[in-house]
Structure 1
Amino acid sequence: MQATMSAGMQDTGVKYKVLPIMISLLLSGFIGMFSETALNVALSDLIQVFQITPATVQWLTTGYLLTLGILVPISGLLLQWFTTRQLFIAAVSFSVLGTFIAAMAPSFEMLMTARVVQAIGTALLLPLMFNTILIIFPAEKRGAAMGVIGLVIMVAPAVGPTIAGLLIDKLSWHWIFWLSLPFLVIALIFGIFFMQNVSEITKPRIDLISILFSTLGFGGVVFGFSSAGEGEHGWGSTKVIVSMLIGIVALLIFAVRQLRMQQPMMNLRAFKKPMFVVGTLMVFICMMVILSSMLVLPMFLISGLGLSALTAGLVMLPGGLINGIMSPIMGGLFDKFGPKWLVIPGLVIVAAVLWFFSGITTASTLALVIVLHSCLMVGISMVWMPAQTNGLNQLPRELYPDGTAIMNTLQQVAGAIGTALAVSIMTAGSTKFMEGAENPLDPANAPLALTAGIQNAFIFAMVVAIIGLVVAFFIKRVKVDKANQH
C-alpha cells in the first residue's frame, strides 16, 4: 500500500503529496459508505419508532439514491469548473451538515431531509475521488490504487451493520450519526490543510437545458423504479408509468443533445471506447447484485430467522471484511495479469452463490449464510475494481471527468433498479405464498412468506449475474497509450 501511495508522479511531471490526499478522500468516503449501510439495519427499528410502513421507510434509501442520480451527472461539469480543494471542502461540509441534522432528527421528515443533504456530499465526493486517482497515479499503478479505495469502500458497508446493530441495542439509532460526525470533521480539517488541486479548470459553457434533461431523465428513471419497489400499486401505478416515461424520453433528448454539442455537459463519446462500455456494464451489474442482495439478506436474517440487528450485522461482517481485504489484492493482480482471468471466474462464483442463496429457508444455518455471503463478496471483488479500472484506462485524460461521472451516475441508477426490482419481486413472492397458505392469519406463516419472496429475489440477482458473465467474455486488457494520458 505504501508503494502505491508513493507513486504520485503522473506523466505530466507534477509531484503530488499522494498520502495526505488519499487519507482525506478515503476517510470521508469511508464514513459516507458507513452511514449508508448502517442505516439499513435500523430500518426495522425506524418503522416502529416513527409508526411508518416499510414502503415509506424505503425512501431513506430511495431519496438518497435519487439525489445522487440527479447530481452525479453534473459532477463532470463541476470538476471542470471548480478546484479539487473547493469541491472536496463543499462535499465534506454537506456530509457534516447532513449527519448533524440526522443525529438530531426528531421525525421521519427531518431524517429524510438529512439524508438528502448527506447525498449531496456523497454526489460531489464519489466522482472527485475517482477522477483524482486517475490523475495522480500512472496507469500501471492504478489497479492497486483503486484496490485501496475498494478496501475502504467495501470495509465500511461491512462494519456498518455490525456497529449499527450494537448502537441500536445499547443506545439508539441517532448514535449511528453521532459516531460518524467527528470522523467527518477530521476529514474536513485534514482536507483543508492537505488537499491539492489536481484537475484542470477549463470552465466549459454551462448548458441549462442539458442540466434540466439530465435531472428529468436520471431523476425520472430512479424515481420510477423506486416507486415501483414500494409495492402498494407496483409497476402498474400512474406515478410509476409517468415518471418512467418522462425519464426515458428526457434521457433520449439529453443523449442526442450531448452528441450534437461542441462542449457537452457529459461527453458521451466515452462510449466509443469498447472496454469503457464493458467496464461500465460490469459496474452496473455488480451494483444491482450487491444492492438487491444487501437489502433482502438483512430482512431475511431479522424477520425470517428472528435475529437481533446486532446478530444480523455480525453474520454479514466476515463477508464484507473479506471483500475489503481482497480488493487491493485483486487490484495488484489486475495490474499484473489484466482483467479477463479475474472477471470471468468472479462472475461464475457470484452466479453460483446466488443460486445457493435462492434455496435458503428458515431452517438454514447461520454458518451456511456466512459462507455464502463471504463467497459472494470474493466474487464481487474479482469483478468490480478490475473491470472499472480497465474501462477508465481506455479513456484519454480529457475524458476522465466524463468517464467517472458516467460510471458513478449509472451506479446510482443500477442501485435504484436493483433495489426496486428486488423489493417488488420479494413482495410478489410473499403475497403469492400467503394466497396459497391454509391460514394466512397464522403468525407462523409470516417468516415463511418472507423467505419465499426472498428466494425469488435471489433468483433475479442470479439472472443478472449470468447476463454479466456473458458480457465478461468480451473483456480485453487495455494497452495504455502514454501520450493519451496527458
Structure 2
Amino acid sequence: MNTSTSKKPVLDMNGKPYNRGLLMVTIIIGLFGTFLAGTMLATAYPTLMNEFNIKASTVQWLSTGFMLVTGIMIPITAWMMNRFSSKLLYIIGMGLFFIGNAICFLASDFAMLLIGRIVSALGGGILTPLGQSIAMSIYPPEKRGTIMGMVGLAIGVAPAVGPTLSGWIIDSLNWRMIFGITLPFIGLDLLLSFFYMKKVLPTKKLKLDVLSAILSIIGFGSLLYGTSEAGNYGWTSPLVIWSIIIGLIFIFLFGWRQIKLETPFLDIRLLKNWHFSLASLLGSIARIALVGVELVLPLYIQIVRGESAFHSGLMLLPGALLMGLMSPIAGMLFDRLGARTLSIAGLTLLTLGTLNFTTLTTSTPIIEIIVLYAVRVMGITLVLMPSTTAGLNALPLNKMNDGTAINNTLRQTLGAIGTAIFTTVYSNIQNAQMPSKHLLHVAPLQYKHEAIIAALNGYHAAFFTAVIFGVIGLILAFSLKKNAGLVKKDVNSKNMKEA
C-alpha cells in the first residue's frame, strides 16, 4: 500500500526518513489490541464472580477502574505528548498495556486481576490519544479522512467483536484466555514499535504543572466515578451526587487555571473554536449512541429472547463487520464531501434505526434485529471518525495533541454519562412496572409474563432515549458549515515534516 503523498522521503523530527505506511500499521494493530482487551470482560463477569467468590458490585470494578484510569490519563497524556518523544511514549504505553494484560492472565486472586487492569488502563490512556495525534500529524489535511477511517476500523470494530469473542472463549476455553489471546497482538505491536515507530510529533521542554495534574485527576476521576455508579445506585444516591459535585468543582478549577497559565497543561481555549467544539460534540453523541445501545440490546436478547451471551454477541457481529468495512469508506467520502453531509446522513440512519428498536417485542424476527443494528452502526460510522477528523482539521498542527486529548476526554466523559442515563432509564421503568412478588407464588406464569413486559418497556424507554440523542445530534449537524473539515490541497503543508 502506497500511503505517501510525495515521491520525496518523509522525515521524522530528527530529519531521518521513515516508512509512514508501516508506522500506521503499528498504530492500527496497537489500537485494535487496546480496544479489544478493554471490551472483552463483560461476558466473563459471572465466571469471574464464581472463580473468586465475589459480588457483582465488586467484579464491576474491573470495568469501572479501567474506565476511570483511562479517563484520568487522557488529559495528562496531552502534556506528555508535548514533552516526550512519540516513539518513547508509544513504547511505554504499549509496554504498560502488555504488562497489565500479562498480570491479568497470571492472576491468582481478584486483587491481582484488578491491579493488572489498572496497569493496562495506564497504557491505554496513553495509546488512544497518542495514536490519533500521530495519524493526524504525519499526513496532509486532504488525506486525513482516509487515514482516520483506517484508525476508526480498529477503534470501532474491536469493541463490537470483543463480546462475541469473549463469549466463545468463556464457553470453550478458560477465562484467562480472554487476556492470553490479546498478548500476541500486543507483543507483536510492541516489537514493531521499536523498529517502525518514530519521533514524529514536535516536543519542547515543558515543566509539569503539578497543581493542574492534581486538579485534573480529582476532577475527571470523581466525575467519571459518579456517573458510572449512577447506573448502579441511581442519580439520587449521596455517593453519586457528591462525586459529581466534587468532580465538577475540580474540573472548573482545572479549567480556570489553564486559562490563566501562559503555557497550559491542557489548552482548553481550543473549545472557543466553534467548529472544533461542535465536531467533538457530534462524535461524542455518536459514541453515546454506540455504547448505550450495545449495553441495552444484549440484555434484551439474553433476558427476553433467552439467548446465550455468545449468541447475543453473534447477532451483533454483522454490524461490527460492517463498521470495519465502512470506516475506510467513510474516511474516503469525508475527503470528498466533508463532515456535514456525512454527519447528517449518518445521524439520520442512526435515529431511524434506533426508532425501530422502540417497538421490539418478544417475537421480533432475529434477522430484523440484526439488520436494524447494522443500519445504526452504518450511521455511527459515518459520524464517528469523520467528525473527529473535521474538528482536528480546524486546529493548527501544533495544537493537535491538545485537540486530540480534549476530544477523547469529552467522548470518555459523555460516554460514561450517556451509559449511566440509559441504565437508569431502563432500570427505573422496569422496576416501576414489575409485578408484585406475591403474584410469583399465586400465578407464576402471569408473573413471568408481566415481568417480561416490564423489561420490554424498560428497553423501549432506553432506546427512545437514544432516539432523543440522535435527534439532538441531527439538529446540531445542520450547524456544520458546508464541506466542513475539508482542506484544500497543500494547505498547512509547510507544517508537515517532509523533505
Report the TM-score, using the length of structure 2 for normalisation.
0.91
Structure-2 residue corresponding to 1:272: 272
Matched, 1:452 2:457: yes
Which sections of structure 2, spanning at least 5 residues, go unmatched? none
Q: 1:475 aligns with which of 474, 480, 498?
A: 480
- In the other structure, the counterpart of 2:24 is 22
The aligned counterpart of 2:34 is 32
Contact 1:133-1:146 within 8 A present in 2 as well: yes
Question: CA 1:6–1:180 in 2, change beyond 3 Å: closer, same or farther?
Answer: farther
Cα drift, residue 346 of structure 1: 0.8
Distance 2:477 2:119 in 1: 37
CA shift for structure 1 position 97: 1.1
CA distance in 2 between counterparts of 1:352 and 1:237 reads: 34
Q: Is residue 72–residue 221 contact of structure 2 (8 Å, CA) maintained in 1?
A: yes
Note the C-alpha offset of 1:264: 0.2
Alpha-carbon offset, residue 426 of structure 1: 1.6
The within-5 A match list for 1:172-191 is 172-191=174-193
2:224 maps to a residue whose letter is V
Given that 2:136 and 2:148 are in contact with CA atoms closer than 8 Å, whether structure 1 keeps it comes out as: no
Amino acid at match of 2:359: G
Instruction: Confirm or deny: 8 A CA contact 1:135 1:199 kept in the other structure.
Output: yes
CA contact (8 A) 1:6 1:19 kept: no
Deviation at 1:189, TM superposition (A): 0.8
Partner of 2:316: 316
- 1:462–1:142: structure 2 CA closer, same or farther, 3 Å change rule? same
Cα distance in 2 for partners of 1:138, 1:88 equals: 22
> Which residues in structure 2 correspond to 1:147-162 (within 5 Å)?
147-162=149-164
Per-residue deviation at 1:299? 2.0
- 1:253 alignment partner in structure 2: 253
Residue 20 (structure 1) shift:
1.9
Confirm or deny: 8 A CA contact 2:12 2:198 kept in the other structure: no
Q: Does 1:88 pair with 2:99? A: no
Distance in 2 (alpha carbons) for counterparts of 1:62 and 1:263: 32
* 40-49 or 303-312, which deviates more: 40-49
Report if the CA contact (8 A) 1:4-1:144 is conserved: no
Q: Is the 8 A contact 1:96 1:184 kept in 2?
A: yes
Report what 1:340 is aligned to: 340
Q: Determine the structure 2 residue equivalent to 1:46.
A: 48
5 Å-filtered alignment, 1:375-390, equals: 375-390=375-390
User: Which deviates more from structure 2 when the two are superposed, residues 456-465 or residues 136-145?
Assistant: 456-465
Give the whole-Å Cα distance in 1 for the aligned partners of 2:419 and 2:51.
Answer: 23
Alpha-carbon distance in 2 for matches of 1:444, 1:171: 33
Answer whether contact 1:357 1:455 (CA < 8 A) is retained.
yes
Q: How far, CA to CA, are the matches of 1:24 and 1:389 in structure 2?
A: 20
Letter matched to residue 311 of structure 1: H
Q: Residue 479 and residue 318 in structure 1: after superposition, are their counterparts in 2 closer, same or farther (change >3 A)?
A: closer
Question: How far 1:123 moved relative to its partner?
Answer: 0.4
TM alignment of 1:13-412, pairs within 5 A: 15-231=17-233, 234-412=234-412
Aligned to 1:155, what secondary structure does the other structure show? helix
Instruction: Give 3-state SS (helix, strand or coil) of 2:307's partner.
Output: coil
Give the AA of the match of 1:348. T
Distance 1:46 1:122 in 2: 23
The letter of the residue matching 2:492 is: K
Aligned partners of 2:437, 2:279: CA distance in 1, in Å?
A: 45
2:389/2:485 contact within 8 Å kept: no
Shift of 1:324: 1.1
Give CA deviations for 1:15-57 in whole Å, capped at 9, x if unaligned: 5411221122111111111122222222344344445444443
Deviation at 1:100, TM superposition (A): 1.1
Which amino acid in structure 2 is aligned with residue 270 of structure 1?
Answer: L
**Structure 2 residue 466 is matched with structure 1 residue 464:** no
Query: Which amino acid in 2 is paired with 1:323?
Result: M
Whether contact under 8 Å (1:347, 1:383) holds in the other structure is yes
How much does 1:10 deviate? Answer: 8.4
Query: Aligned to 1:229, what secondary structure does the other structure show?
Result: helix
After superposition, give the CA deviation of every residue in 1:96-138 in whole Å (9 maximum; x if it has no partner). Answer: 1111122223433332222211111110001111110121100
Q: Is the 8 A contact 2:148 2:385 kept in 1?
A: yes
Structure-1 separation of matches of 2:54 and 2:252: 37
The verdict on how the C-alpha distance between 1:451 and 1:51 changes in structure 2, with shifts beyond 3 A counting, is farther
Q: Is the 8 A contact 1:10 1:135 kept in 2?
A: no
- The alignment partner of 1:204 has SS state of coil
**Which 10-residue stretch deviates more, 169-178 or 15-24?**
15-24
Structure 2 vs 1, CA of residues 345 and 437 (structure 1 numbering), >3 Å: closer, same or farther? Answer: farther
Deviations 1:376-426 (A, max 9, x none): 100001111111101100101111110001011111112211221122222
User: Cα offset for 1:478?
Assistant: 3.5
CA distance in 2, matches of 1:43, 1:289: 23
Read off the aligned partner of 1:301 and give its amino acid letter.
Answer: I
| Post-superposition CA distance 1:34-86 (Å, at most 9, x none) | 12222222234434444544444333222111111111011110001111111
Determine helix, strand or coil for the equivalent of 1:420.
Answer: helix
CA distance in 1, matches of 2:470, 2:50: 35
* CA distance in 1 between partners of 2:434 and 2:55 (Å): 19
Q: In 1, Cα distance between the equivalents of 2:436 and 2:383?
A: 40
Cα deviation code 1:354-381 (max 9, x no counterpart): 1111221332221111011100100001
How many Å separate the matches in 1 of 2:251 and 2:210? 15
**CA 1:436–1:356: 2 relative to 1, 3 Å:** farther
Amino acid at match of 1:121: G
Structure-1 separation of matches of 2:259 and 2:294: 36
Q: Per-residue deviation at 1:330?
A: 0.7
Q: What is the Cα-based RMSD across aligned positions, in Å?
A: 2.2
Distance 2:300 2:109 in 1: 27
| Structure 1 residues not aligned, in runs of 5+ | none
The amino acid of 2:220's aligned partner reads F
- TM-score, scaled relative to structure 1: 0.94
Q: Secondary structure at the match of 1:230?
A: helix
